[in-house]
């Protein structure tokens, strides 16, 4: 199975990092190499531009691909979304000069909109019943309203810094995006693809969890159970020749501070909190 992975840009590193954490270590991937093997002899990696990945998957050059939802929608290819990988989160918005006369989507009627996402923009305008010209650019979209190339833009925003720096204001929401794993419809049910989905899900499931280990007096075990939140009870093990037990439990990261204090209060000791690499439920 071949996985298409962004070769550069902001999505490259987090994608490779996710593969690593999923146990698919990339071997012999020299800089600028377009193709690499992984530790799994059945899985190889093809590096491509984020914008081209939908096409690679659609053509069958790769069975699955990691890229932004914006790129897949823009490609118009009917790929199957398998897992939301939860990075590269951004919005495509309609934006216009702060001090101009465009305050809502309808105000771009009869005007022009510059974008790197012509298909998404045309579909958006159609959906909204707005008749406007779409001007295709390949970058620096935020500049176009200031050089009279366009009246408004449809572009990516996440922190809002770039729009602010260019004195542009959001006047409409077009699309929400994050990086996801996509498959060709013919490969969505392949056993190897299933394994990949499970591996990615296990990494995501582990991300906000911590593994908490402790010793507790046997007679306080019920109190310990009380203060441990959430699903799945703890694993309890006898400590040989002792009136203590060892307790192991998976806890939400945001609960750890409180849980550790509560555990101490009910007599637990030797409390150890560690990160979890993967969690298969
Ligand atoms: N500011 C952002 N915040 C979050 N995600 C973003 C942001 N900008 C882009 N993305 C996501 O990353 C994808 C690729 O953008 P990126 O700029 O990394 O690649 P690129 O434009 O192909 O690379 P380059 O700009 O180096 O040519 C976008 O399609 C989008 O899904
Ligand atoms: O809301 P913000 O956090 O400012 O992010 C938005 C900016 O990020 C992306 O550009 P990128 O940094 O990828 O540069 P590029 O135009 O060279 O692709 C996008 O095209 C916006 O310009
Ligand atoms: Mg970019």
- Going by pLDDT thresholds of 50, 70 and 90, the confidence category of residue 229 is confident
Interval 4-31 mean pLDDT: 91
Assess if CATH 3.30.56.10 describes domain 209-275: no
Q: Establish whether residue 195 lines the binding site of ligand 2, counting it when its CB lies within 6 angstroms of any ligand atom.
A: no
Q: Is 2-89+178-205's fold the same as 90-177's?
A: yes
Class of domain 2-89+178-205: alpha beta
72's CB contacts (< 8 A; 6+ apart) are 54, 79, 81, 180, 182
Banded pLDDT at 240 (limits 50, 70, 90) = confident
What the block records as the tokens of 70 is 């914006």
- Could you tell me if the CB of 233 is within 6 A of ligand 1? no
**Runs of H (alpha helix) within the chain:** 12-21, 53-59, 69-75, 118-127, 161-165, 191-207, 221-227, 256-265
| 231 has a pLDDT exceeding 60 | no
158-177, pLDDT tens digit by residue? Answer: 999 999 999 999 999 999 99
pLDDT at 281: 78
Higher pLDDT pick, 32 / 40: 40
**Do residues 28 and 43 make contact, with C-beta atoms less than 8 angstroms apart?**
no
Q: Is it the case that residue 232 has pLDDT exceeding 70? A: no
Architecture of the structural domain at 90-177: 3-Layer(aba) Sandwich (3.40)
Ligand 2 atom closest to 157 (CA):
1
pLDDT of residue 135: 98
pLDDT, greater one: 2 or 231? 2
Q: Is the pLDDT of residue 33 over 90?
A: no
**How high is the mean pLDDT of the chain?**
94
Rounded to the nearest angstrom, the distance between the alpha carbon of 70 and the centre of ligand 1 is 10
C-alpha 228 to ligand 1 mean position (Å): 41
Indicate if the pLDDT at residue 64 is higher than 80: yes
Question: Mean pLDDT across the stretch 128-140?
Answer: 97
Ligand nearest to the CA of 50: 1
Residues 90-131 have pLDDT tens digits of 999 999 999 999 999 999 999 999 999 999 999 999 999 999
Would you kindly state where each structural domain of the chain is located, as residue ranges?
2-89+178-205, 90-177, 209-275
Instruction: Return the ligand number nearest the Cα of 162.
Output: 2
Shortest-distance Cα residue to atom 22 of ligand 1: 50
Q: What is the residue with the minimal CA distance to atom 3 of ligand 2?
A: 159
């Amino acid at each position: 199975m071949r996985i298409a992975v962004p070769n550069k840009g902001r999505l490259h590193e987090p994608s490779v990092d996710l593969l690593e954490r999923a146990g698919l270590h990339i071997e012999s991937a020299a800089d600028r190499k377009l193709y690499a093997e992984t530790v799994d002899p059945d899985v190889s990696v093809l590096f491509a531009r984020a914008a081209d990945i939908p096409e690679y998957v659609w053509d069958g050059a790769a069975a699955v691909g990691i890229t932004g939802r914006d790129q897949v929608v823009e490609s118009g290819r009917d790929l199957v979304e398998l897992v939301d990988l939860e990075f590269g989160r951004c919005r495509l918005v309609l934006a216009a000069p702060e001090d101009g006369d465009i305050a809502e989507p309808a105000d771009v009627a009869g005007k022009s909109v510059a974008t790197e996402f012509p298909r998404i923009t045309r579909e958006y305008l159609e959906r909204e019943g707005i008749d406007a010209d779409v001007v295709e650019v390949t970058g620096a979209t935020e500049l176009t309203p200031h050089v009279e190339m366009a009246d408004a833009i449809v572009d990516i925003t996440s922190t809002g810094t770039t729009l602010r720096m260019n004195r542009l204001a959001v006047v409409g929401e077009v699309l929400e995006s994050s990086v996801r794993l996509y498959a060709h419809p013919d490969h969505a049910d392949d056993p190897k693809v299933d394994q990949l989905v499970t591996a990615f899900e296990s990494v995501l499931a582990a991300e906000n969890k911590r593994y908490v280990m402790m010793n507790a007096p046997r007679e306080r075990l019920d109190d310990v159970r009380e203060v441990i939140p959430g699903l799945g009870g703890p694993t309890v093990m006898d400590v040989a020749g002792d009136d203590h037990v060892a307790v192991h439990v998976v806890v939400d990261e945001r609960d750890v501070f409180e849980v550790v204090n509560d555990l101490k209060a009910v007599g637990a000791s030797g409390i150890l909190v560690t990160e979890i690499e993967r969690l298969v439920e």
